[in-house]
Structure 1
Amino acid sequence: MAIIKSKYLKPFKNIFILILVLFAVWMLFLDANSWLIHHELNTEIEDLEDEKEYYRKEIEKDKKALKKLGTEEGLEKFAREAYYMKRDNEDIFIIEYEDSLKIKQDD
């Protein structure tokens, strides 16, 4: 049996250091609560927090839009712009420019 005389492996002759290193490797990489799993979970938490902030901003934007639709002027403006509604004594002319039209080209 060959005797290991390397200066780098000399500390591993001590059983306590060997057990400590094995325990550290086990806890960092192999355990169910390892550092790798905690890192993945922390990344997922950060992503969910970002998503939560995005939805909060969207809710605020929607609340503002609902508040505008709650008024008579806002509701009328929405109906005119989105559904081309008009009053009884009005005529609506929709002007479309050539660059805004979707023309089907035969190839």
Structure 2
Amino acid sequence: MHKLLSLLKNKYFLSTTAFLVWMLFFDRNDLLSQYEYRSQLQKLEQEKQFYNQEIAKVQKDLDELTTNKDKLEKFAREHYLMKRDNEDVFVIIEEERKEEQKSLF
């Protein structure tokens, strides 16, 4: 008990303890903030990885479209509904089917 009392009277111990408490709980960069910053950094790194993968996919598709005319024609037909002069294009919208199915139930 005497050692604990003398330890609490020690000004170096008190100042070190006060400094640690301040840095861990009351400072602008306390433990909770550091945890939040770290989790935000992990989310941003995951987003960066996702977007890098998407960029690689798009770059690959672009290379294929610029080098292969068959792929370019297929892409134009699927995405821009382009057609040849002697063809007809039928567009099927799946959302209407879903709405019809909902109304049946």
| TM tier, smaller | 0.5 to 0.7
Q: 1:95 to 1:36 in 2, by over 3 A?
A: closer
Inter-partner Cα distance in structure 1 for 2:19 and 2:84: 79
Instruction: Name the % identity.
Output: 40
Residues matched between the structures, number: 98
Secondary structure, counterpart of 2:40 in structure 1: helix
With the length of structure 1 as denominator, give the TM-score of the two structures: 0.66
Deviation at 1:92, TM superposition (A): 4.3
Unaligned runs of at least 5 residues, structure 2 = none
Give 1:60's aligned residue.
56
Which of the two has higher C-alpha Rg? 1
TM value normalised by structure 2: 0.67
Greater helix share, structure number: 2
Aligned-residue offset at 1:79 = 2.0
List alignment gaps of at least 5 residues for structure 1: 1-5
Q: Distance in 2 between matches of 1:37 and 1:52?
A: 22
Report Cα offsets for 1:20-56 as digits up to 9, x if no partner. 2111101111122333322222222222111111110
CA-based RMSD of the aligned residues comes to: 3.2
Residue number in structure 1 paired with 2:37:
41
